[in-house]
Amino acid sequence: MKNCVEVQDKLHEECGVFGIYSMSGESVSKDIYYGLEALQHRGQEAAGMALSDFKGGMYNMAIKKDIGLVSEVFHEDDLEHLKGNIGVGHVRYSTTGESNAHNAQPIGMNYIKGTLAVVHNGNIVNTDALKVEQMKRGSAHYTTSDTEVIAYEIIKERVNSKDIEEATVKACKKLRGGYALLVKSPRKLIGARDPLGIKPLILGKRDDTYILASESAAVKAVGGEIVRDIEPGEIVTITKDGIETVSRLQSSTKAHCIFEYIYFARNDSVMDGISVNDARVSAGEALAKVKKVDADIVVGVPDSGLAAAWGYSKESNIPFAMAFYKNSYIGRSFIKPTQNERQMAVQMKLSVLENVVRDKNIVLIDDSIVRGTTMRKLVDMLKAAGAKEVHVRISSPPFLYPCFYGTDVPTAGQLIASEHSTEEVRENIGADSLEYLRVEDFKAMVGDLPLCTACFTNDYPIK
Amino acid sequence: MKNCVEVQDKLHEECGVFGIYSMSGESVSKDIYYGLEALQHRGQEAAGMALSDFKGGMYNMAIKKDIGLVSEVFHEDDLEHLKGNIGVGHVRYSTTGESNAHNAQPIGMNYIKGTLAVVHNGNIVNTDALKVEQMKRGSAHYTTSDTEVIAYEIIKERVNSKDIEEATVKACKKLRGGYALLVKSPRKLIGARDPLGIKPLILGKRDDTYILASESAAVKAVGGEIVRDIEPGEIVTITKDGIETVSRLQSSTKAHCIFEYIYFARNDSVMDGISVNDARVSAGEALAKVKKVDADIVVGVPDSGLAAAWGYSKESNIPFAMAFYKNSYIGRSFIKPTQNERQMAVQMKLSVLENVVRDKNIVLIDDSIVRGTTMRKLVDMLKAAGAKEVHVRISSPPFLYPCFYGTDVPTAGQLIASEHSTEEVRENIGADSLEYLRVEDFKAMVGDLPLCTACFTNDYPIK
Amino acid sequence: MKNCVEVQDKLHEECGVFGIYSMSGESVSKDIYYGLEALQHRGQEAAGMALSDFKGGMYNMAIKKDIGLVSEVFHEDDLEHLKGNIGVGHVRYSTTGESNAHNAQPIGMNYIKGTLAVVHNGNIVNTDALKVEQMKRGSAHYTTSDTEVIAYEIIKERVNSKDIEEATVKACKKLRGGYALLVKSPRKLIGARDPLGIKPLILGKRDDTYILASESAAVKAVGGEIVRDIEPGEIVTITKDGIETVSRLQSSTKAHCIFEYIYFARNDSVMDGISVNDARVSAGEALAKVKKVDADIVVGVPDSGLAAAWGYSKESNIPFAMAFYKNSYIGRSFIKPTQNERQMAVQMKLSVLENVVRDKNIVLIDDSIVRGTTMRKLVDMLKAAGAKEVHVRISSPPFLYPCFYGTDVPTAGQLIASEHSTEEVRENIGADSLEYLRVEDFKAMVGDLPLCTACFTNDYPIK
Amino acid sequence: MKNCVEVQDKLHEECGVFGIYSMSGESVSKDIYYGLEALQHRGQEAAGMALSDFKGGMYNMAIKKDIGLVSEVFHEDDLEHLKGNIGVGHVRYSTTGESNAHNAQPIGMNYIKGTLAVVHNGNIVNTDALKVEQMKRGSAHYTTSDTEVIAYEIIKERVNSKDIEEATVKACKKLRGGYALLVKSPRKLIGARDPLGIKPLILGKRDDTYILASESAAVKAVGGEIVRDIEPGEIVTITKDGIETVSRLQSSTKAHCIFEYIYFARNDSVMDGISVNDARVSAGEALAKVKKVDADIVVGVPDSGLAAAWGYSKESNIPFAMAFYKNSYIGRSFIKPTQNERQMAVQMKLSVLENVVRDKNIVLIDDSIVRGTTMRKLVDMLKAAGAKEVHVRISSPPFLYPCFYGTDVPTAGQLIASEHSTEEVRENIGADSLEYLRVEDFKAMVGDLPLCTACFTNDYPIK
């Protein structure tokens, strides 16, 4: 079992999804491979793909999924064996301590109408209620994932529906929560996004091939062009006749997840029309206005704090500097760290360029503070390297409330901000000052885009 | 992917099952490991086990299964992680060319009443009909195994039953075919055998621990004593109160599988009161009466023909001799054989002791002829080593008809006996004479025990 | 690291060697693979091969060796990459507890005249003295094997020799001990056998391909015919011009290792003109004359005692019976046995056919007693199964003295016979009587063949 | 065999070395592990370590080395088995296409005075001559690495030297080339650096533990403080009495490798008193003076061009911007790319932030152009994203001549600059202008530090 030396002081999301339909019938397994690699940052615990193959007059489903990175799960001969022109893929981050191959996606099954494969990013808050109903009807569950619950809703509705699209629409109407959902039937690829638009889903195209993915970067990675975001509540189907919107689930509000812009998404992705990088730069600019500080350089924590640091520098006219080296080989290791080594882990991953920071007053930017251990170590390292003052600026507000839509926020007791005042946190991390981005400055990040900010404000979009 | 150089000229069964319940609460994962190793001859494609663990006021199920031998699937730390005092295990032989981890057993699932794990040896002839009914009720199937269909029948019946035993009884009443079935609920271990007694299932005991297994040898391997065979149609439950028979499904006839005695079972097992070794020796004795031959020595093909050869020698007074060396390291190999190498495979696995056979008239005994390629090679080898005459005697009748109850008999076209007369087969394999055990001599093997002989006689016990 | 549940109560030899030269230039890697598989019983710890390839006007050497069985070390694509028409291979049993890839053979090196690969079965008693001399001349040793010392002697002599054959002869003249040695230069394959003939080496031929191997069975496994044994002290070279004897090292005596006949060699091998199986049968016959016993059946311990049991039966007219089942899947396991499980290991590997032994007086034959633990367990098992009396007969004399020529005999303290009288041993193993083959009966085994019997008699052939 | 999708359009060095001596006797295997991880950028093909252990009155050497990353070669239980308080480690980049475990380092051997382990970064230009002399004296070579040749020189000299230090000094006097060499005897750790100082070697200390490493970053990674660089030609020994300089090999010139500063070394390392990051920033500043350009932003290619880009921005007052996203999960893959996919590899690894570059005139900075394929793709990507003009600036002069001291420069035919004028290269990569750092601007990078610039100037420091 692999043990991770990496700094476990970041929030995590649970998944990335990728679906593709080649209308000219070309094999898509390599595209899914590259698409999932482009989404690897969204989940490193498990990966999988399922494809439809038409062979001997029958539609067959090929599926492979396992624990590990995309490059570990799929070898070259796998991609040759995984045949088909329609497919869905998934990368997963596990919220549980122990890895579990059973919970890897896609969920692939046979039911009365043929085969079905489902992948899903998000969290369905009424999973337990739906699952009990399903069990009462006699369902058997092989996993603990809510994706299986979604799949069961779809096959239940399929019986009284004219097609798989109608069944998916009926199923989605029962789901409460945030989701980006892909459904592969033998001859169709369906995509659905929750009515609030909490989870992202984007449509791309490459010649006669359609792509649905969690992020625009995955579309680009396979040589595709962005067509548009799937709208909140929209359900689309891709068939041999092209793409069609089959339903638009209504919702009085929209509430895109703020975390995607803060740090889930790749910096080069564009979500709901907003460039993630621009949002982060804007957050840095807004942060520069929060409280002026007299400093020599602005330093971002790689890689998550770099964009905001650049924005802060631009707004404040304090020079931007790169003060850390990041060792990209560290992170996945078989060596179990002792407590002392765990404290050294930050230091092995990141090291300070002493000449850059010596005798300097520094503004240090990161996107969040979760437990505070990483930031404390970084401030220590900067001071040990000769920095005079370290002013920490966080490009998001303090996390205070749990997320019910798929983000793995630690329990309140583990969130330093939920138990301590800002001044206490500042003292704990050893900073000379500490400021967070204010909730009201969010609009600087994403303009008028409606956001879910429940984890900062306790104001949940779904009651 | 492993490629097998081994002589693929034998019939195969699909499975071995092992269940255990420690009433004193001891961990049983190592017992399952050793029990499955003792049953490894019944299936080398995949192995798995599922255990019930009582932890934090809840019953959890731990499960591991994968492609490979028992010793390849389970490592030492697996056995430490697989906790519980009730468990079921399975070894599987795949009838399909390609290995498939999805079809490994146990089938473990969550349903409305908790967890369930099912293992099964046999074949249910009405699987398709049951599966369609299940699918119509909304079931999702993750595998193509009939074990999953059985599990679904049980959870369906569970809703209107007072306990899991009643549900299992109701489900079994619907199953047509041969089966030895173990069902593990969080607190119970249930065993069921088909009404005809086609598949074997035996009960053992070690102190306060009960064991259910496909063969008595597995009971012995974990230090247990044989209690008795589970009777045809009997369904037993083992709970904290001990073992109890909950039902006896009726059948006008019994029909134990003749193949178990001919060669599926270990030589040291006792099934339905008959020692397998005794049966094979008796078959050899009966065979000696079929047609006298004037020979110098009787030689058995290791290991399957040794017991019958010994019986033949005893009856005929022709001296028994060991004329083959068997290389036990050959069989599982990564090397894909060329056609020429494939023909050499028999020779690499078995070699002739020349001094034993030179200038001798030999009676050569094996338990069966499937495609004939192995026997032809063996006769060749004996003659090349100087044998004067080779008289082949087979301790079973010619296979002529397919098995519907779980034995992987090749299609008729591949069975040499179904397309050729005995004289043609004799000529094909290059023997000086060839005789089979006659159907009417079966009683020599197993006394009055009622047998299923459909593969020889076309007389199927289930219409 | 693999842990072996197997009964570690047997003597072990260290190696098997295999060399091949295709004069028509065909690739020989697959032949080496199959040849080593045929010799796998001589060593399961490590395997390796080295081949000469002529490419781009130059002779290159390809080599692969690692810990594991032949089938584990070499995969299919290895055999494609290991090119050449001349090659040597090796299987190794390690005398040290821990496995060590460094000590795997062949020893392949570059030296002033090009490449050299050496494989060796045996033990050189003056290794330490030679190694010190080599080191004084500046040699660097990467392994602790005496094969490397031999290789250094050869390259040292090569400088003042006209060819590699002369260098090998000069080197062999310095070696004291038992050895079967193969040397591969870019264009030649040389074989050498120690002057006493302690270690076996045989010559085979298949069309225009020559084979040198530890046992005739390996020649047969690749479709070759036996030509003759390499004589004690003979050194042969195989070149493009065929095979030639280049030297015959003189010795006043010959002393073939008795252990090869007792149990190292495969039963189907012929060594120095003596069929191994015949030798073992004769040992059983001689044993039957040692002391008469009134018994019902003669039983051999599989597989090592079967031939002697058959001979005993023939001589005594007490019926031969097969009373044990051997589980061929047990032996290589990742599971570390507890003490209790270790005691169960014999039982899991071998089980008793109760009906065969119940109420019987049994003569139980094995080829040796080392520590006594296995035999004690087997006697226990027979008695537990209902045997009335168990009379143990061992087809070799008691081991009393260490072997200096390559057999891994436990130290005296671990040899039950070296510390206890025969009566004490009999009591310890729970037998009703115990007899060993007498040293003077050896001639029954191998006729007039001169043998090394030092381990029984303390009479070493090399002072 | 792993296939690398990564952009193979960079120069490579061959090695990193790490040595450690705990005077208080603590185990150092984990320190070597972390030290090698800090040096992983210097070689990803193979890794290894050797340690001295004092056990049972004897000094033993434990060694492990294999193909793979540090985290792939060493598992947790390896580090427990690799015991000792003195050790050396190595990471290797192979210049040959095919990976070869034999050539992994350390080279560990037994010789007349005990054990020896040697690791080496660099290239010895008179290897062949030394090797022939060694072979004439009777040496056997197991590898093709020059490290083995060095080891042989040391053990040859050891015979007539009073200690291993003296032998190492004598050996180093014969070596011509660039080297950073660590020698581990049972009780000592010796470090040596070539007289020109081509290869780097630095001394660190942590409490009573001494460290020798290729880069200061490795000293920091294990919690050590930098003591000083080992001087060109200096040979030091670390014993139980501490550290001592045993020799200073003289040279009329010094010639530190310019490539270390350009891109081999980690950005956070300090070499021969010069901060690598400072050198790169200075190179960017100097580059800004080469030829003014009217641009909107300065963009560095991650990660190698970022520091120079920052320096360029500072000098030119053109704003620094981050325009690429780097996917850190791509690079090591089992998937063999087709030609088309290979062209996509750059794009999968790096993607453009469109909003940052649209309608902009861009200065694009990288540290070198080797074949030109990567730069061409990057310019393409920027233009496709809407950049108006792309002015490429390279922070080193064009490579024109081969390196004989350990850097794997492609042959002239593969170096775009050696066959084409700057204008032709500019056109080839599609840039609007192209400038290189001028050789005379080197002093801006490293002040008065004497450099080897042969690859740019054909002026080799060793004739």
Span D104-124, average pLDDT: 94
Q: What are the backbone dihedrals phi and psi of residue D390, each rounded to the nearest 5 degrees, phi first?
A: -125, 110
E strand map for D40-175: 46-55, 58-67, 86-92, 107-111, 114-124
Q: Where are the alpha helices (DSSP H) in C163-215?
A: 164-174
Helical axes A164-174 vs A146-158, angle rounded to 10°: 130
In what helix (H) or strand (E) does residue A123 lie, and over which residues does it extend? strand A114-124
Task: State CA D354 to chain mean position distance.
Answer: 34
Helix (H) or strand (E) run with residue B33 in it = helix B29-38
Q: Indicate the helix (H) or strand (E) that contains A21.
A: strand A15-22
Backbone dihedral region for residue C191 (phi beyond 0: left; psi -120 to 50: alpha; all else: beta): beta
Give dist(CA C454, CA B318) in Å, integer. Answer: 41
Beta-carbon contacts of A103 under 8 Å, excluding residues fewer than 6 positions away, are A46, A92, A94, A143, A144, A145
Considering CB atoms only, which of D34, D325, D334 is closest to A75? D334
Token pair for residue A421? Answer: 């005042």
Structure tokens at A360: 């300097």
Gap from A365 CA to chain D (nearest CA, Å): 16
Backbone dihedral region for residue C426 (phi beyond 0: left; psi -120 to 50: alpha; all else: beta)? alpha
**Which residues are within 8 A (CB) of C205 and not within 5 positions of it... i.e. 6 or more apart?**
C211, C224, C225, C227
DSSP class of residue D372 equals S
CA distances from D162 to D149, D166, D168 (A): 21, 7, 11
Is the separation of the CB atoms in A300 and A306 below 8 Å?
yes
Token pair belonging to A345 = 């882990």
Query: Is C428 touching D (CB cutoff 8 A)?
Result: no
Q: Which helix (H) or strand (E) holds B281?
A: helix B276-290
CA–CA separation, D63 vs D67, rounded Å? 14
Answer yes or no: are the C-beta atoms of A433 and A294 closer than 8 Å. no
Within a 10 A sphere around the Cβ of D220, how many other Cβ atoms? 27
Band of pLDDT at residue A411, cut at 50, 70 and 90 = low
Q: Distance of CA A389 to CAs A376, A432, D159, Å?
A: 14, 6, 59
Per-residue pLDDT of chain B (463 residues; tens, 9 = 90+): 232 223 346 555 569 999 999 999 999 999 999 999 999 999 888 999 999 987 777 788 999 999 888 998 998 889 988 999 999 999 997 654 344 667 789 999 999 999 999 999 998 999 999 999 999 999 999 988 889 999 999 999 998 999 999 999 999 999 999 999 999 999 999 999 999 999 999 999 999 999 999 999 999 999 999 999 999 999 999 999 999 999 999 988 999 998 899 888 999 999 999 999 999 999 999 999 989 999 999 999 998 899 999 999 999 999 999 999 999 887 655 455 565 665 667 778 899 999 999 999 999 999 988 888 889 999 999 999 999 999 999 999 988 887 877 676 666 666 777 788 999 999 999 999 999 999 888 878 888 899 988 888 888 887 6
Chains touching chain A through at least 3 C-beta pairs below 8 angstroms are B, D
- In this prediction the pTM is 0.89
Q: What is the pLDDT of residue A119?
A: 97
pLDDT at B4: 28
Nearest to A31 by CA among A185, A209, A228: A209
Tell me the DSSP string of D437-456: --GGGHHHHHTT--EE-HHH
The token duo for D50 is 């050797």
Q: What is the mean pLDDT of residues D110-137?
A: 94
Better-predicted residue by pLDDT, C270 or D13:
C270
- Distance, CA of B37 to CA of C21 (rounded, Å): 42
Q: How far is CA D181 from the centre of its chain?
A: 14
Closest by CA to D241, choosing from D204, D202, D203, D210, is D210
Kindly name the residue from A4, A15, A257, A455 that is annotated as catalytic: A15
Rounded Cα distance between A248 and A169, Å, is 9
Question: Min CA distance, B99 vs chain A (Å)?
Answer: 13
The minimum CA-CA distance between B345 and chain C, rounded to whole Å, is 9
Residue bearing the bigger pLDDT, C70 or D440: C70
* Mutant choice from A69, A75, A268 vs D, greatest count of D C-beta within 10 A: A268
Place of tokens 């030798």: C279
> What is d(CA D114, CA C66) in angstroms, rounded to the nearest whole number?
25
Helices (H), A159-274: 164-174, 216-221, 258-259
The secondary structure of D25-72 as a DSSP string is ----HHHHHHHHHHTGGG--SEEEEEEEEEETTEEEEEEEEEES-HHH
CA D154 to chain CA centroid, Å, is 24
Instruction: Please indicate whether, in this complex, the C-beta atoms of C138 and D156 are within 8 angstroms of each other.
Output: yes
Token representation of residue A443: 């609009």
- Whether B139 contacts chain A with CB within 8 A: yes
By Cβ distance, the residue of B109, B110, B138 closest to A155 is B138
Q: Is A50 helix (H, G, I), strand (E, B) or coil?
A: strand
Which residue of C98, C100, C111, C133 is the best one to mutate when testing the D interface, meaning the one whose CB has the most D CBs within 10 A?
A: C111
Tell me which H or E stretch contains D417: helix D416-419
Mutation for testing the C interface, residue in D81, D112, D131, D157 having most C CBs under 10 Å: D112
- D297, D363 Cβ separation under 8 angstroms: yes
Residue whose pair of structure tokens reads 């369904």 in the numeric block: B235
Q: State the pLDDT confidence band at A96, using cuts at 50, 70 and 90.
A: very low
What is the pLDDT at residue C443? 78
Q: C-alpha distances in angstroms, D57 versus D9, D53, D54, D60, D187?
A: 52, 10, 7, 10, 13
Give all strands (DSSP E) within D112-267, no chain letters. 114-124, 177-184, 189-193, 202-206, 209-213, 225-229, 234-239, 242-248, 256-257
Burial of C228 per CB tally in 10 Å (0-12, 13-18, 19+)? exposed
Question: Which of C270, C306, C328 is opposite residue B322, by nearest beta carbon?
Answer: C306
pLDDT of residue C458: 87
Q: Which residue does chain A place closest to D338, by CA atoms?
A: A30
Binned at pLDDT 50, 70 and 90, residue D372 comes out as confident
CA C53 to each of CA A64, C164, C186: distance values in angstroms, whole numbers, following the listed order? 41, 18, 8
> Does the CB of A81 have a partner CB in chain D at under 8 Å?
no
Are A444 and A283 in contact by the 8 Å Cβ rule? The answer is yes
Do chain A and C touch: 3 or more Cβ pairs under 8 angstroms? no
pLDDT at B100: 61
Residues in chain B: 463
Give, for A366, the enclosing helix (H) or strand (E).
Answer: strand A361-366
pLDDT in tens, A76-90: 889 988 999 999 999
Residue position matching structure tokens 């050498």? C192
Q: How confident is the model at residue D437 (pLDDT cuts 50, 70, 90)?
A: very high
Task: Give me A437's structure tokens.
Answer: 């981005």
Nearest to A163 by CA among A244, A57, A56: A244
- Which residues, at least 6 apart from B432, have a Cβ–Cβ distance to it below 8 Å? B389, B390, B391
Q: What is the mean pLDDT of residues D73-80?
A: 89
Say yes or no for a CB contact (<8 Å) between B138 and A156: yes
What digits encode the pLDDT tens for the residues A121-143?
998 989 999 999 999 999 999 98
| Amino acid making up residue B108 | G
Q: Which amino acid is at A452?
A: C
Integer Cα distance of D264 and D11 in angstroms: 9
> What is the per-residue pLDDT for D3?
28
Residue B145 to residue B93: CA distance in whole angstroms: 12
ipTM, two decimals, is 0.90
C328 in reach of chain B (CB within 8 A) = yes
**Residue whose token pair is 């707004």:** A315
Task: Name residues whose C-beta falls within 8 Å of residue B463's C-beta, 6 or more positions apart in sequence.
Answer: none
Residues in chain C closer than 8 A to D112 (CB atoms): 132, 135-136, 138
Tell me which of D214 and A334 has the higher pLDDT. D214
d(C-alpha A83, C-alpha A87), whole Å:
9
Residue of C315, C308, C310, C277 lying closest to C293 (CA atoms): C315
pLDDT > 70: percent of chain D: 90
Residue-wise pLDDT for D261-279, tens only, equals 988 899 999 999 999 999 9
Q: Within 10 A of A335 (CB to CB), how many other CB atoms are there?
A: 20
Q: How many CA atoms lie within 13 A of A20 on its CB side?
A: 35
For the ranges A401-415, C342-356, D247-261, the maximum mean pLDDT occurs at D247-261
Contact C451, C258 (CB under 8 A): yes
List of chain C residues with pLDDT < 70 = 1-14, 94-101, 331-344, 406, 408-414, 463
Q: Are C16 and C43 in contact (CB under 8 A)?
A: yes
